């Protein structure tokens, strides 16, 4: 964090001749000090400061305990500090064994997963890794009651060490994407000597795992990772990583431009990205851009009047102008999105483009007229967004301006904001009619963009969702057919059959409009010219172990 020190200013009256003497004396001192510093640097090992990489970010770190970590920054750090059973081959979306030595052996009923484990692995505290340690890690993830505990808790009936290097999961229901779920960074191996199982027993500033880096320091404004010299696999090409947690995008922007950090990684404002992009084109530094799987969307509360009317929700969908939002607000640093499933997956189907297009104001007015609205009796859309999100405030203002300009008074937009913690505490209570938010997937599978949005355990078509995923997202959407399709795709192992199931789900999503997808992010990372090995993986991970300074 950049800290400004303030001190009192002393006003001293000095004769002009004395000023000259002091100036000459000061200049001589500066020259002596400069020469001394230059000599010290030149006489040192030229590679002495090239073995560590400094990364700056504005992402807020709450905890690094795998059983409670559920933010983007903690996930990225844990991917570098820890090892999961499965991971993805670098540069691809191919699932490969990691602490496991092979893909799981799955029972015919799809409920039992038997996984062989790697031998010769040790934890950062020198504790040997085996199936008992992995069982402990999984049990702790489920039983300690952290924010991501439901990911395994909802899916797993039991987990047991069935051999010294064999782990067996028993699932509650068949789940074809279960190996992908096991790549979630929090489901990593942790040392049984360093942690304990118990509700709420977390260690937010500690990590003892098996990964390429050991946690050497955890501070409020910085972290230090040291390369783990006993790592079982491919070791880092650097000696360690220093992470600065900066207070604002302006601090990140300026700290990078002055060369005080090697890499600027999440998050910069659109104008700052554009400025650094121009600098990269001039050869001042390097730019790395990658298609992200983070999606931004509008949640529509299907139980909130008048959004309980299908025609009203469809009218809102028709009125959206994604290309304009991407151009004016996002500065072209995203891409329009027409399904909750991003284009990263081959099952993506652009149903909102097919059904509504963009800025289809004629259709929007027709639908609102059918719902009983007119210029004399306008429909008022209340849009809420997190108060700290300048981006979403501008998106809401753009939607409001479009309605005012092109909807002939039949539709008006009212914009409201609230702090993020309050928003996410209240969204499942049905307080907000429409909300602008985003979604960063827990694991890399299309299911994670459908089940957490549209599934509902308890409810009815008439009363909406009373308990379930869609209620938690604030849409309260309920559909028997969608519930059935979600259940089928989760059981289905055949990719083509699964793709057809996802296609039908997306068609229903477009027709019923409980959510309106708006854009899919692009990730931008900037590195100084002497840094090599920057890789933004298609699965959204950022491996630090390839980074090196020339």
Please give the structure tokens belonging to residue 181: 């779920």
- Comparing 16-25, 251-260, 484-493, the range with the smallest average pLDDT is 16-25
Asked if the model's pLDDT at residue 231 lies above 50, the reply is yes
pLDDT of residue 364: 98
Residues 363 and 396: their CA atoms lie apart, in Å, by: 21
Tens digit of each residue's pLDDT (9 = 90 or more) over 363-415: 999 999 999 999 999 999 999 999 989 899 999 999 999 999 999 999 999 99
Residues 422 and 214: their CA atoms lie apart, in Å, by: 35
Tens digit of each residue's pLDDT (9 = 90 or more) over 147-157: 999 999 999 99
Residues 516 and 539: their CA atoms lie apart, in Å, by: 24
Asked if the model's pLDDT at residue 8 lies above 90, the reply is no
- Three-state secondary structure string covering 245-296: ECCCHHHHHHHHHCCCCCEEECCCCHHHHHHHHHHHHCCCCEEEEEEEEEEE
Phi-psi region of 359 (alpha: psi -120 to 50; beta: other; left: phi over 0): left
pLDDT of residue 311: 98
pLDDT of residue 114: 98
Asked if the model's pLDDT at residue 37 lies above 90, the reply is no
Q: What is the mean pLDDT of residues 408-432?
A: 95
Tens digit of each residue's pLDDT (9 = 90 or more) over 80-108: 999 999 999 998 999 999 999 999 999 99
Please give the structure tokens belonging to residue 168: 């067996």
pLDDT of residue 10: 28
pLDDT of residue 137: 98
Phi, psi of 76 (to 5 degrees): -65, -40
CB-CB neighbours of 545 under 10 Å:
21
pLDDT of residue 49: 54
Asked if the model's pLDDT at residue 113 lies above 80, the reply is yes
Tens digit of each residue's pLDDT (9 = 90 or more) over 348-362: 999 999 999 999 999
pLDDT of residue 13: 29
pLDDT of residue 56: 98
What share of the chain in percent tops pLDDT 70? 91
Asked if the model's pLDDT at residue 543 lies above 70, the reply is yes
Going by DSSP bridges, is the β-strand pair 213-218/515-527 parallel, antiparallel, or unpaired?
Answer: unpaired
pLDDT of residue 527: 98
Sequence-separated (6 or more) residues with CB below 8 Å from residue 282:
none
Asked if the model's pLDDT at residue 32 lies above 50, the reply is no
């Amino acid at each position: 964090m950049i800290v400004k020190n303030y001190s009192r200013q002393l006003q001293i009256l000095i004769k002009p001749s004395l000023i000259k003497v002091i100036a000459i004396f000061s200049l001589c001192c500066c020259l002596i000090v400069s020469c001394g510093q230059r000599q010290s640097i030149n006489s040192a090992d030229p590679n002495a400061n090239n073995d560590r990489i400094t990364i700056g970010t504005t992402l807020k770190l709450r905890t690094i305990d795998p059983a409670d970590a559920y933010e983007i920054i903690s996930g990225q750090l844990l991917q570098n500090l820890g090892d999961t059973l499965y991971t993805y081959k670098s540069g691809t979306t191919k699932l490969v064994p990691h602490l496991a030595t092979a893909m799981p052996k799955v029972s015919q009923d799809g409920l039992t997963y038997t996984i062989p484990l790697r031998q010769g692995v040790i934890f950062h505290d020198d504790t040997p890794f085996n199936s008992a340690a992995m069982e402990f890690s999984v049990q702790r993830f489920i039983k300690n009651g952290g924010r991501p505990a439901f990911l395994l808790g909802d899916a797993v009936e039991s987990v047991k060490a069935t051999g010294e290097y064999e782990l067996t999961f028993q699932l509650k229901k068949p789940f074809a994407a279960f190996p992908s779920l096991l790549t979630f960074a929090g489901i990593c191996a942790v040392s049984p000597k360093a942690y304990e199982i118990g509700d709420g027993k977390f260690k937010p500033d500690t990590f003892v795992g098996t990964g390429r880096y050991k946690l050497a320091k955890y501070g409020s404004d910085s972290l230090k990772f040291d390369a783990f010299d006993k790592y079982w696999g491919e070791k880092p090409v650097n000696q360690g990583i220093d992470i600065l947690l900066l207070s604002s995008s302006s601090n990140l922007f300026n700290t990078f431009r002055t060369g005080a950090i090697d890499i600027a990684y999440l998050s910069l404002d659109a104008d700052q990205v554009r400025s650094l992009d121009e600098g990269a084109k001039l050869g001042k530094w390097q730019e790395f851009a990658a298609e992200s799987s983070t999606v931004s969307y509008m949640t529509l509360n299907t139980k909130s009047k008048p959004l309980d009317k299908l025609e009203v929700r469809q009218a809102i969908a028709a009125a959206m102008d994604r290309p304009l939002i991407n151009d004016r607000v996002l500065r072209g640093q995203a891409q329009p999105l027409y399904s909750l499933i991003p284009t990263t997956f081959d099952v993506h189907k652009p149903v909102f483009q097919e059904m509504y297009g963009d800025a289809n104001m004629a259709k929007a007015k027709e639908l609102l007229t059918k719902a009983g609205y007119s210029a004399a009796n306008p429909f008022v859309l209340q849009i809420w967004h997190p108060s700290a999100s300048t981006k979403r405030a501008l998106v809401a203002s753009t939607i409001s301006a479009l309605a005012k300009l092109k909807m002939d008074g039949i539709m008006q937009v009212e914009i409201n904001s609230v702090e993020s913690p309050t928003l996410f505490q209240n969204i499942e209570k049905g307080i907000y009619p429409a909300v602008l938010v985003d979604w960063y997937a827990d694991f890399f599978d299309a299911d994670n963009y459908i089940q957490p949005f549209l599934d509902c355990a308890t409810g009815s078509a008439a009363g909406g969702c009373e308990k379930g995923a869609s209620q938690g997202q604030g849409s309260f959407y309920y559909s028997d057919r969608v519930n059935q399709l979600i259940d089928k795709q989760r059981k289905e192992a055949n990719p083509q059959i699964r793709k057809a199931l996802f296609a039908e789900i997306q068609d229903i999503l477009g027709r019923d409009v409980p959510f309106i997808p708006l854009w899919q992010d692009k990730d931008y990372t900037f590195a100084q010219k002497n840094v090599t090995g920057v890789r933004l993986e298609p699965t959204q991970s950022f491996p630090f172990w390839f980074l090196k300074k020339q």
